[in-house]
Structure 1
Amino acid sequence: MNAESDERTGGAGPVAPVSAPGDGRQAERELGSRAPAFVRGSRVLHLSWQVGIFVAGLAVVGAGIVMLPLPGPGWLVIFGGMAIWATEFVWAQLVLRWTRRKVTEAAQRALDPKVRRRNVALTAVGLVIIAVLVGIYVWKFGITMPWEIEQ
């Protein structure tokens, strides 16, 4: 009997995605609220729970937006706020799944040997161009420290 069949009925049943330890994959969680059962049981309590989660996520996302131009881990904080929202809202869970999928794809592309060789070559060419431009500038104008410039 194969692993996908149900021994009691003999038919093949739906198989939940299972990840082996250490293979880097995670089983997809169900969409929806992760609030405790007693909170979901009361409509008023669940609505107030959702408002609290939304406000907390909004504060974290707002702090991340402020950190984008200022020093700090802006994008990391924004994704943290999205993770807070994802504990309660399906739209945030879908956004995080999409983002996780795109980041994984980008990481796999970046580790591709052909892409790495191309990136190293482009970086080397860019550094040579910058070195030539700095050399031309120094040859033409010399090195003068900013505090020694005559006005």
Structure 2
Amino acid sequence: MNTGSNGLEVVVADGAKPAQDGPAAPAESGQPAERPLGSRAPEFIKKRRTLHVSWQVGVFVAGLAVVSAGVAMLVLPGPGWVVIFAGMAIWATEFVWAQLVLRWTKRKVSEAAQRALDPRVRRRNIILTTVGCVICAVLAGLYLWKFGITLPWKIES
């Protein structure tokens, strides 16, 4: 089974240079460079195949437990998505596919944050929030006008 953690396999497109092993160098575009893909296991573990496979199984099981807990928290009380991404981060310490998923997710979250900071979008969101609050206040006023402060159900003591 090839997990992609034994070596660096990069597809080069548009004349871009492939990533090098070792510490990431700063990108020319001014954005922080991404870490190279592959296993982040200690070197003494990578040198022994049996130990490395055992390490990968342990990382997979730990990540699976965290992701499963996050999925359960989607319907139960708890921070489901945060826990799911924490499990993905655990997997990303060892598996290239999880590293790529996390990079894609980080890129999409950054793009959404930049769109949210756009003055036109902020203005629209403020207007929509204000309209929603006015509608809720009108509905609460109508309820109080029709029923008063008393609750519509009787509770006997």
Let me know the Cα RMSD of the aligned residues: 2.4
1:130 aligned residue (129, 136, 140): 136
Query: Number of residues paired by the alignment?
Result: 134
Amino acid at match of 2:101: V
Displacement of 1:141 in angstroms is 2.3
TM-score of the superposed pair, with normalisation by structure 2? 0.75
Amino acid at match of 2:124: R
Amino acid at match of 2:148: G
1:18 aligned residue (16, 26, 45): 26
The answer on 1:104 being equivalent to 2:106 is no
What residue is the counterpart of 1:50 in the other structure? 56
Structure 2 stretches lacking a partner, 5+ long: 1-16
TM-score of the superposed pair, with normalisation by structure 1? 0.78
Deviation string for 1:111-133 (max 9, x for gaps)?
11111110000000111111112
Report percent identity of matched pairs: 72
Amino acid at match of 1:83: A
Structure 1 stretches lacking a partner, 5+ long: 1-13
Q: Which runs of 4+ in 1 moved over 3 A?
A: 14-17, 146-150
What residue is the counterpart of 1:62 in the other structure? 68
